[in-house]
Amino acid sequence: MSKWCFISTRKSLIEKRNITGAKCHYLCQQISATMSIQTQIDQFEQKIGSDITIEPKDWMPDDYRKTLIRQISQHAHSEIVGMLPEGNWITRAPSLRRKAVLLAKVQDEAGHGLYLYSAAETLGVSRDQLYDQLHSGVAKYSSIFNYPTLTWADIGAIGWLVDGAAIMNQVPLCRTSYGPYARAMVRVCKEESFHQRQGYEIMLTLSKGSDIQRKMAQDALNRWWWPSLMMFGPPDAESPNTEKSVRWKIKRFTNDELRQKFVDVTVEQAKILGLTVPDKDLQWNEETGHYEFGTPNWAEFKNVVAGNGPCNKQRLETRKQAWEKGQWVRDAAMAHAEKRKNRKKAA
Ligand SMILES: [Fe+2]
Ligand SMILES: [Fe+2]
């Protein structure tokens, strides 16, 4: 056996340690593998540090990939499940204009789900796997969609507060470190801004309307305010993934920072509507330049996330049924694609 290692030609290693060429060959393989992983980590960290996006074919740490798959798929599921509370009001919208607007908005949410599932697929997970995780209850989606829409004012409150919170969360994601996610978010955010405005317009119309309409608007704000604050996730101290996500620039702001921004902006909008934010602890702090606000009911949040919210079972059942009833459409599309392929081959 040669006294020279095939990998690094480290003759000295063989001589110094008095080992065989084969053993040296093995050791050098280990060293060069470690070195190349270290080089890949360095390159990855360098890109993150210089705000260069990570692309699907780039090397990335397993944890980064896992965190992204979890976040993007949760986001996609939220868009799709989020269609249900509002879809419930399409047939009952108070005018043709409102119906057309709501229909367009709900359709946008389906599109958001599809961009996001596509972005998640670039990380090596299949669409079927993602749906399976949703239907089996393994994957989560935003807890807010487990609350019922009781009146038309709820459609206004959802657009104003829920889409408003989504914008707060999603605008920074246009600069997230994973390229396909960041690019999907650019279009999503443009549409979310239309969603927020249509909701605010409904609230404005109701709050300037009759006594009953004003009461409806206030009642919707009372029911949707706290769940909207919960949309930003648990407090930073109880959010184990936040620190890593911020370091990898997946998240640009922490849950608490985004929640504060949302409160600061939305309280001012509530004043224009002449509605009262249902928080007795809410007060402006001159020194910090921010609103101080009460603590959301985190026990309720945990309970809803655990599957025990008012509509969890109903939402999941509706999604499962839609999947099962759509099987023939997927089969027909596959059969059509196969026929076209064969026709092309035969031509
Ligand atoms: Fe959306
Ligand atoms: Fe939206």
Predicted local confidence at residue 8, as pLDDT:
44
Q: Which two tokens stand for residue 227?
A: 């769940």
Instruction: Tell how strand 290-292 and strand 283-285 pair up.
Output: antiparallel
Ligand nearest the Cα atom of residue 188: 1
Ligand nearest the Cα atom of residue 75: 1
User: Mean pLDDT, 10 residues at a time, over the chain (347 residues)?
Assistant: 44 55 62 74 92 94 95 96 95 96 96 96 96 94 96 98 95 95 94 95 97 98 98 90 87 93 98 98 97 97 93 96 95 96 93
Distance 194 CA to ligand 2 centre (A): 8
Distance 294 CA to ligand 1 centre (A): 27
**Closest CA relative to residue 158, chosen from 231, 59, 253:** 231
Tell me the whole-structure pTM to 2 decimals.
Answer: 0.85
Distance 105 CA to ligand 2 centre (A): 7
Ligand nearest the Cα atom of residue 198: 2
The position carrying tokens 């985190």 is 298
Q: Which residues of 184-220 are buried (b: 16+ CB within 10 A; e: fewer)?
A: bbeebbebbeebbebbbebbbebbeeeeeebebbbbb
Ligand nearest the Cα atom of residue 199: 2
Distance 325 CA to ligand 2 centre (A): 25
Ranges assigned E (strand) in the chain: 283-285, 290-292
Predicted local confidence at residue 36, as pLDDT:
82
* Ramachandran quadrant class, 174 (left: phi over 0; alpha: psi -120 to 50; beta: rest): alpha
Distance 143 CA to ligand 2 centre (A): 15
Does residue 102 contact residue 90 with C-beta atoms inside 8 Å?
Answer: yes
Does residue 221 contact residue 159 with C-beta atoms inside 8 Å?
Answer: no
Ligand nearest the Cα atom of residue 155: 2
Predicted local confidence at residue 240, as pLDDT:
78
Q: What is the DSSP letter of 310?
A: T
Q: Which residues surround ligand 1, an ion (CB under 5 A)?
A: 79, 109, 112
Ligand nearest the Cα atom of residue 196: 2
Q: Which residues of 22-37 are buried (b: 16+ CB within 10 A; e: fewer)?
A: eebbebbeeeeeeeee
